[in-house]
Amino acid sequence: MAAFKYHQQINELYGVPDVRVREHQRKLITGISRTVAWKLEKTGDFPERKTTSSNHVSWSMAELMQWADSREGAV
């Protein structure tokens, strides 16, 4: 039930369901390079990637958008 509420809130906030995005979309959403994202991820300051196949990783769009929103005032 908690997962449903989470997805419902994301849909209400951003008008999109929580989907998995690849590197190109991640960069468009966050505006940071692959290296910076990797460094922030290693320190726990960026959403964690998930392995989707042997050669691909993806991120939660909702987590990336929340991260980007939280950074707006920090820049």
- Tell me: pLDDT of 25 over 70: yes
Per residue in 35-64, pLDDT (tens digit) is 999 999 999 999 999 998 999 999 998 889
- Describe the strand order of the beta sheet including 50-53 as a list of residue ranges: 20-21, 56-60, 50-53
Q: Which residue has the higher pLDDT, 75 or 57?
A: 57
Tokens of 34: 């692959």
| Total structural domains within the chain | 1
For 46, the domain range is 2-71
The answer to whether the beta carbons of residues 58 and 50 sit under 8 Å apart is yes
Least confident of 8-12, 52-56, 59-63, 71-75: 71-75
pTM of the model: 0.74
Tokens of 66: 């929340």
